């Protein structure tokens, strides 16, 4: 985490140079592992959005990605997912996506992705497919931000 935080300084400096700010939000476990969260303050004009993206790409994006996919982070995220499975399965079942009793974590992820693919595009008109947001809503209900 120290390297990730060290990369924040030049990222913040780059953002400041174009009129944006970086606000530290502290360390959270929202991703299933310790993550030093932050928010970028955007001026009302937002005319430097391309430069903001460039600041992120040059100074922060890759080290952030490496931090999130390192083995310890992936394992922590998997542990959180497995712990949430009973509530997640109940939510999915209640919403109309039946999940077999002996489903593994990987099988559950596959079933959820298949359900998302089957209903993709219907989120613009949820009434067209009541299950359009089921997977997303259930993941939110059990506080899983990704898998």
Number of domain units in the chain: 2
SS (H, E, C) 6-66: HHHHHHHHHHHHCCCEEEEEEEECCCCCCEEEEEEECCCCCCCHHHHHHHHHHHCHHHHHH
pTM: 0.69
Task: Based on the fold, state whether residues 105 and 78 are members of the same structural domain.
Answer: yes
Kindly tell me if the per-residue pLDDT of 122 is higher than 70.
Answer: no
- For a pLDDT cut of 70, what percent of the chain falls above it? 93
Three-state SS at 131: coil
Query: What would the pLDDT profile of 68-106 be if each residue is shown by its tens digit?
Result: 899 999 998 899 999 999 999 999 999 999 999 899 999
Q: Provide the pLDDT for residue 33.
A: 85
* Residue 127 in this model has a pLDDT that exceeds 80: no
**Domain closes at, from 69, 93, 108:** 69
Domain that holds residue 103: 74-141
Q: In terms of pLDDT, which residue wins out, 134 or 47?
A: 134
Q: Per the domain annotation, does 135 fall within a domain? A: yes
Given 13, 37, 69, the domain boundary residue is 69
Predicted pLDDT at 84? 95
Q: What percent of the chain has pLDDT over 90?
A: 59
Q: Residue 130: what pLDDT?
A: 65
How far does Cα 30 stand from its chain's mean position?
9
Is 94 domain-assigned?
Answer: yes
Say if residues 126 and 133 touch (Cβ distance below 8 Å): yes
Do 54 and 82 fall into the same domain?
A: no
* Pair 49, 79 in one domain: no
Buried b (16+ CB within 10 A) or exposed e, 115-128: bbeebeeeeeeeee
Which pLDDT score, from 0 to 100, does residue 103 have? 95
Q: Check whether 21 has a pLDDT greater than 90.
A: yes
Q: Please, what is the average pLDDT of the chain?
A: 88
Are 60 and 43 in the same domain? Answer: yes
Point out the domain boundary residue: 25, 54, 69: 69
61 shares its domain with 92: no
- DSSP-derived letter for residue 123 is G
Which pLDDT band holds residue 44 (cuts at 50, 70, 90)? confident
Residue with tokens 């998302």: 116
Within-domain flag for 146: no
Among 93, 72, 74, 70, CA closest to 82: 74
Residue 41 lies in a domain: yes
C-beta separation of 77 from 31 below 8 A: yes
Residue 111 belongs to some domain of the structure: yes
Q: 65 with 119, same domain?
A: no
Residue 46 has pLDDT above 70, yes or no: no
Tokens describing residue 54: 């460039």
């Amino acid at each position: 985490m120290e390297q990730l935080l060290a990369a924040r300084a030049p990222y913040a400096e780059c953002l400041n140079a174009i009129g944006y700010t970086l606000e530290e939000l502290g360390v959270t476990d929202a991703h299933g592992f310790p993550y030093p969260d932050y928010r970028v303050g955007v001026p009302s004009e937002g005319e430097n959005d391309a430069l903001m993206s460039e600041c992120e790409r040059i100074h922060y994006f890759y080290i952030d990605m490496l931090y999130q996919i390192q083995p310890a982070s992936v394992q922590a995220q998997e542990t959180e997912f497995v712990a949430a499975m009973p509530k997640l399965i109940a939510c999915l079942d209640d919403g109309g996506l039946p999940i077999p009793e002996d489903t593994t974590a990987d099988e559950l992820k596959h079933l959820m992705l298949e359900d998302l693919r089957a209903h993709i595009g219907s989120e613009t008109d949820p009434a067209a497919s009541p299950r359009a947001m089921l997977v997303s809503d259930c993941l939110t209900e059990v506080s899983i931000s990704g898998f």
